[in-house]
Structure 1
């Protein structure tokens, strides 16, 4: 399992437009084989920050998604980003 997690920084006045333009892209991405979840959300503290979380069953599923992603264009400029890919060896409940 792979987790892609991090943040994108856009101008605060562009954040709502950025997120609005991604909603259809997120729906299409979530429907792809191997996509467990895909979320882009406004950070509740930093006005220009967008939090990103993707969970994929395998590297192959992620590669297939990236080959056909077709993100919306044009998009407001990303000023900075810090996004990492994590390979997960095991998964279990947090509580209990």
Structure 2
């Protein structure tokens, strides 16, 4: 299993709009083969932070979904990224 976890930093005034723009991505991810969990959410303490959690059955499932990554419109709005991948055995 692959776990992707961390956070994105966006402009505080843009966070709600950024998350709203991600609805389609979240929907597609959750229906993708091999997706166990896919969540993006506003941090409760930091107004510019978006928490990321993904769980995938295999590396190939994650890679198939990712393709070329988020579109340029979303990428341009990210100020910083601290997201990591972890491989682990599924319980």
TM-score strictly above 0.5: yes
Provide the aligned length of Structure 1 versus Structure 2. Answer: 90
Asked if the contact 1:21/1:72 (under 8 Å) is kept, the reply is no
Q: In the alignment, which residue of structure 1 is the partner of 2:89?
A: 89
C-alpha distance in structure 1 between counterparts of 2:48 and 2:10, whole Å: 5
1:74 aligns with 2:64: no
Larger Rg: 1
Residue 25 of structure 1, CA deviation: 1.1
Q: TM-score when scaled to structure 2?
A: 0.90
Runs (4 or more) in structure 1 with deviation over 6 Å come to: none
Ranges in structure 1 where 5+ consecutive residues have no aligned partner = 92-96
* Aligned alpha-carbon RMSD (Å): 1.6
Q: TM-score when scaled to structure 1?
A: 0.86
Ranges in structure 2 where 5+ consecutive residues have no aligned partner = none
